[in-house]
Amino acid sequence: MAEKTINPILKQVLELGPTVVFFLIYLRIRDETYIFAGTEYTGFIVSALVFVPILLVAMGVLWMLTGKLSRMQVFTAFMVIFFGGLTAWFNDERFFKMKTSIVYGCLGTVLGIGLLRGQSYLQYVMEEVLPMQPEGWMIFTRRLCLMFFALAVANEIIWRTQSTDLWVKLETFAFPAVLFVFLWVQIIGLQKYLIEDPDRKEG
List pLDDT tens digits, range 155-187: 999 999 999 999 999 999 999 999 999 999 998
pTM comes to 0.85
At residue 195 the predicted structure's pLDDT band, cuts being 50, 70 and 90, is confident
pLDDT per residue as tens digits for the range 6-54? 777 888 888 888 999 999 999 999 999 999 888 899 999 999 999 999 9
Instruction: Say if CB 85 and CB 33 are below 8 A apart.
Output: no
How many residues are given for the chain?
203
Higher pLDDT, 68 or 200: 68
- What pLDDT score does 16 carry? 85
Mean pLDDT (whole number) for 127-145: 91
DSSP letter at 174? I
Mean pLDDT (whole number) for 62-84: 86
Question: CA nearest 111: which of 143, 133, 135?
Answer: 143
d(CA 26, CA 106): 27
Helix-helix angle 8-29:43-66, to 10 degrees? 170
The set of residues, in sequence order, having a beta carbon less than 8 Å from that of 178 and lying 6+ positions away, is 151
Phi, psi of 129 (to 5 degrees): -95, -15
Reduce the DSSP state of residue 128 to 3 states and report it.
coil
Query: Which domains does the chain show, CATH number per domain?
Result: 1-92 (1.20.58), 93-203 (no CATH)
Phi, psi of 71 (to 5 degrees): -60, -35
| DSSP H helices in the chain | 8-29, 43-66, 71-90, 94-116, 121-126, 134-161, 164-169, 175-189, 198-202
Instruction: Say if CB 42 and CB 93 are below 8 A apart.
Output: yes
Q: Could you tell me the sign of the dihedral formed by the alpha carbons of 132, 136, 138, 141, in that order?
A: negative
Q: How far is CA 71 from CA 33, 77, 86, 122, 126, in A?
A: 36, 10, 23, 12, 11
Q: Could you tell me the sign of the dihedral formed by the alpha carbons of 52, 145, 148, 133, in that order?
A: negative
